[in-house]
Amino acid sequence: MLKVQQQFKGILTSRPEHFILYQPFNETLDGMETLTLKERNSYRTGARAWIKKTVDAYKKLILYIGQSYMTNLRTGLGVCSWGNGREFYKATLKWHLTTDITPREVNDIGIREVTRIKEKMMKVLRRLGFKGTIREFTTSMKADPRYTVSSTHTILNMYKEIIKDKIEPILPRLFKDIPKLPLRVAPSLTDGIYAGYEAGSKDGIRPAVFYVNLFRPTDVSIPDFMPIALHETLPGYHLQRSSQALAQLPLFRQHNKGSHKYFQVPFDFPDYNVFAEGWALYAESLGERMRLFQDDYYLLGRYSSELFRSCLLVVDTGIHYYSWSRERAVEYLMTHSTFGLDLLENIVDRIVTWPGQACGAKIGELKIRELRRRAERKLDWKFDIKEFHAELLRHGDVPLQALERIVNNWITRTANSTVCGAASTLHFWNPYKLLVTVVIFLILV
């Protein structure tokens, strides 16, 4: 709420002409040749009168926030400071994660994943001959002109190149029936997380938008671009949302509006964030299989993103279940993740206002990987990665319990079928299995 007050004060002006909502009445109005000078002056006079009332209303709102609202905020940072707050948080986790998992279990998973990923990153650092910490390495990278870029125009073009020239051409290796709905890359209008995605219309008239946070361009190094693009666009959100829009589903499920109106539950349609976020994080891991991380520096960018999502499990439960302070949450992220202080403070503030939501990505990704391992183990040579992905995508975003039933049914159908896995699956077979298969074939011949 302190930030809200600052934002209000930042936009208020003494003259209506300087107010942000008056801007269209300047250059935009001058460019409308169908309007006479008298009409333009009339519109501007009306706009100034309206904006004066608007500014007065904002001033009253600021007084109300400072004198009334701020004196009734919750006493602690997390919802655990409420009466029955911990029970509320348990219910929140169940709603977001669509499974019976406790805050303690989420916290344990987060700590375990942070440890596992940091061990992998340290192996890469030793391979590179670097003897410092992970954060020391990423700090040195951000000071290296080879891995940073300050031009916002260049950053947008780099993302466009990654999507169009690097990801799209090899997407058919792992996916079939890929939707061709348009995607636009644009700068984010607000500061906060490093990127965002907004779905377009299923007819393609309104393109989807991949928003890139350019407020602090050097906060994110070039090796971070690939996992961000994989997560937000292809084969992440854009592929998943496009597949859902074109799937044989009821209309209300095709057009997932990504509503954040959680206060309307159960009177609004649910948004299964755990699947959508989990899929997007899983999509990042597919970058390794598609060989999109060109060297160890870029591989560290992929691990850095996964590490960050794992840290969120610890911080979310820490704030809302274990009564962590804001300072402790920021310190944990600074110690274990690789992003800058300003970004991490924004993330912590987001978690404070949105209990449970940040846990979706890692929990969902772990479930998808678990189900894929199960399918690979049970189907063996019948397993086809393209068919597996198609089965996950054609149902849209679903609760994890439903996802498990969907995959189990698919495994049973595939195991009972006489159709082998696609020939392309051989490309990803274990070399030992492939060698044994070839030897047996030659003996039979």
pLDDT score of 10: 80
pLDDT score of 220: 87
Q: How far is CA 71 from CA 13, 63, 75, 324, in A?
A: 26, 12, 10, 21
Task: Give the alpha-carbon dihedral of 272, 273, 279, 283, to 10 degrees.
Answer: 160
Closest CA to 189 of 180, 181, 198, 176: 198
DSSP 154: H
Pick out the chain residues at pLDDT < 50: 422-429
pLDDT score of 427: 42
Contact predicate 288/227, CB 8 Å: no
Written as six digits, the tokens of 181 are: 């709905």
Taking 3-state DSSP, the helix, strand and coil percentages for the chain, each rounded to the nearest 5, stand at 65, 5, 30
Strand order in the sheet with 195-198: 183-187, 208-212, 195-198
pLDDT score of 251: 87
Q: Which residue has the tokens 């400071």?
A: 81
Q: How far apart are CA 34 and CA 24, in angstroms?
A: 16
pLDDT score of 256: 64
pLDDT score of 433: 62
Count of Cβ atoms closer than 10 Å to residue 380 Cβ: 11
